[in-house]
Amino acid sequence: MTDFFKGIPQIRYEGPESTNDFAFRHYNPDEILMGKRMEDHLRFAVAYWHSFAWPGGDPFGGQTFERPWFGEGMAQAKLKADVAFEMFDILGVPFYCFHDADMRPEGATFAESLKNLNEVADYIGEKQQGHKARLLWGTANMFSHRRWMAGAATNPDPDVYAYAAATVKANMDVTHRLGGQNYVLWGGREGYETLLNTDLKAERAHAGRFLQQVVDYKLRIGFKGTILIEPKPQEPSKHQYDYDVATVYGFLKDFGLEGEVRVNIEQGHAILAGHSFEHEIALAASLGIFGSIDMNRNDYQSGWDTDQFPNNHAEKALAFYEILRAGGYTTGGTNFDAKLRRQSLDPEDLILAHVGGMDTCARALKSAAALLDSGELEAARKARYAGWDSPKAQAMLKGSLEDAAARVTAEKLEPKPRSGRQERLENLWNRFV
């Protein structure tokens, strides 16, 4: 045991009336909703990078956090793992997620970095044996180091492509070894800053071939988890090839991967793309590529991805409604891709941020489950489209444009607009949240 969280108790459920800061008011892991335990619905995960590797900077200022494990040695990396698993135990979370650069010291060569990664992964594997938390997903940081400044799979230099392949292979191996349930590719630099020096067609083709190679490797090593792409429209690149769910789906279709790869959707990224979180989830589900989520929120007055912890259950309920409506997670989960504010320096801040986020999600889930279980919203939706259930309407879809057009004359059609009843449904929604 380390002393970092000394004096902080294990967080337990005490109910909505509790005034104890170090207790859950809404997250009760064993509560049954729609036939499943709340913990199994939410599948919470802690992000290794924001919670243990992030130094507290922002676009205008550097490090504010001082952590005893900060540094480049193996001793610090193992201390970081010790503290991480202590936090997982305090919160009772079932999962965590990582980038390679979060866990291991950067080596002078690829071989040294790989050696460091494997040593830390072995240490974490040992820790998993005595703790509850397991790996939800692993990924590679292919955006921070200067070698990635022009991209990884989309880099104009084929040597960087090869370096990216070696990096992803190493992290897939570690994820597989640690029993990870997914592997994520976030193309932070897979885009362009100006078309003046960019062959867009070539870069997109290289990215597609890279993903095909990733899927082929997954099958060769027998990794049973899901390959996920995380959409984001911009930042750091001006325009990224994985802009949003619709863009990713088109990309997957182009390269024959729509049956092999799903998406990890982040609230903040959805907002940056001009969408809502629930829109991206609903669209992914309708296309058959929904996989997992990164849970956070943006500051709507800032122009960048602020990765704040969620605190608005009514807003998140819309997202969880679509997740439940789609059948819930399979290998995915609710990963807190969220970080403290740079003035939140104390160990208890890290715990309480997650407590608040977990309670927000649990309250949102309960609201969403109650509404879905009532069937009222789904009945209203079904009634709105009921006309399409008729044999005549279905025949029109199967027929020609001329057949559909002929109905107007033959049946003297003069359709009258009907209310969408939005306000009525918003009032219904508010009854549950």
**pLDDT for position 336:** 98
**pLDDT for position 353:** 98
Mean pLDDT rounded to a whole number for the chain: 97
| 110 pLDDT more than 80 | yes
CA–CA distance, 17 with 33 (Å, rounded to integer): 20
CA–CA distance, 363 with 357 (Å, rounded to integer): 10
CA–CA distance, 371 with 378 (Å, rounded to integer): 9
CA–CA distance, 295 with 226 (Å, rounded to integer): 19
- Axis-axis angle for helices 158-177, 200-221 (nearest 10): 30
Write the CB contacts of 337 (distance below 8 Å, at least 6 apart in sequence). Answer: 47, 50, 266, 268, 294, 295, 296, 307
Mean pLDDT of 292-321: 93
Q: Which of 207-211, 232-236, 241-245, 409-413 is predicted with the least confidence, judged by mean pLDDT?
A: 232-236
**pLDDT for position 31:** 98
Over residues 365-398, the pLDDT tens digits come to 999 999 999 999 999 999 999 999 999 999 999 9
Mean pLDDT of 220-238: 95
Measured distance between the N- and C-terminal CA atoms of the chain, rounded to whole angstroms: 41
**pLDDT for position 188:** 85
CA–CA distance, 293 with 357 (Å, rounded to integer): 14
Over residues 348-361, the pLDDT tens digits come to 999 999 999 999 99
* Residue 187: pLDDT band with limits 50, 70, 90: confident
Burial 164-185 (b: 16+ CB within 10 A, else e): bbebbbbbbbbbbbbebbbbbb
Tracing tokens 């992030």 back to the chain, one arrives at 54
* Residue 302: pLDDT band with limits 50, 70, 90: confident
Mean pLDDT of 315-330: 98
**pLDDT for position 354:** 98
Q: Which two tokens stand for residue 160?
A: 């960087």
Mean pLDDT of 328-350: 97
| 172 pLDDT more than 90 | yes
Structural contact between residues 129 and 328, judged by C-beta atoms closer than 8 angstroms: no
Beta-bridge partners for 134: 95
Burial 112-137 (b: 16+ CB within 10 A, else e): ebbebbebbbeebeebbeeeebbbbb
**pLDDT for position 304:** 76
**pLDDT for position 34:** 97
